Structure 1
Amino acid sequence: MSWTRGPLAVLAMAALLGGAAGCGSGDGPEREREGEVTVSPVGKVLDHTDEQGRHYRDIGKDGAPEVTVEVQPDEGDGWDVRLTVRNFRFSPPKTRPLATAGHGVALLYLDGHCLARLRTGDHHLSGRLVPRGTHQLTARLYADDLTVWAVRGTAIESTADITASPPGARTRGRGSPLPRGTA
């Protein structure tokens, strides 16, 4: 699902270029072990990695987690992001960094830049983080050891388009919020 949105702040690009600060550690034991893949009977850890160097954890298609991302403009200057998950539970803060089937976090990316680590299906995205133009917002599922949940080597994720326009324009556009990696 795509949407068009109005006013934007000049700081948007600076926030995006600032890196993956919103997706870093800081909420639990993974802070000491981030980047270290845990031994687990769940799936097979692949050599393939994501943008931050986190390994993919390949699991079978049957019973694999699924995610769909939906984005809608809010009443103010931002976006309401809702993740719908299946065969997946969000882990609370301070969860041990071990891969457990169907558990973990979602990382939210805007045009490949990590914005936030989510432990719930609801998130508010500030309008100042979305510069003018059309962008891809992706939610990707991770195990608690921050390996990427994957099926047949493809990350379990969902992407939707967001179009930010000049003030006053608010038009619905086309998007593709279908999950990738679970087909």
Structure 2
Amino acid sequence: MIRVLLADDQALVRGALASMLGLEADIEVVAQVSSGDQVVAAARETNPDVALLDVQMPGKDGLTAAAELRDALPSCRVVICTTFGRPGYLARAMSAGAAGFVVKDAPPEQLVDAVRRVHSGLRVVDPVLAAESLASGSSPLTDRERDVLLAARDGGTVSDVAKALHLSEGTVRNHLSSAIGKTGARTRAEAIRLAEERGWL
């Protein structure tokens, strides 16, 4: 049996995935959680072979949870299963140790196949997304520029961002200016939107 952990904040989606996987003779869903914060604890408790993680969840996102799961339970293979097929997410998922990346609107048999293939040691990536990712390249943002854009996402002032990240206001302005230039945006809000759309945040 392939033991599967599901992490998705939408109960309906989580339930549908569990029901679909439960129909397979060789797959058993052993845990279901609704946030990235719960993934590692649930995995330690149930020892799954494969974890299916959504990207956007409350608390920690699926990409952060994937990296933590890799460190806590290296035997568990991760498949990112998301509505948002963004090239930047794919690159970040792979660097977090994910072995698979599928989008939720894929046919059900494709998801089941991905679980089996990842369990057998293979990598599985949505082909359209892989092509887009190669075409768009990796994120040009430095880690600090990414931190500054994330901190500015809720509309805080330069002063707010500086306090939150323990940086000077001048340093925050420099990082914002650089991020705006790299995204080709005209404003901070547009830079945040573009970076989110490309999966860089």
Question: The TM-score by the shorter chain falls in which range?
Answer: under 0.3
Larger helix proportion, structure 1 or 2?
2
TM-score between the two structures when normalised by the length of structure 2: 0.23
Q: Where is the strand percentage greater, Structure 1 or Structure 2?
A: 1
The one of the two structures with greater contact order (alpha-carbon pairs below 8 A, sep at least 6) is: 1
TM-score, length of structure 1 as denominator length: 0.24
Larger-gyration structure (1/2) = 2
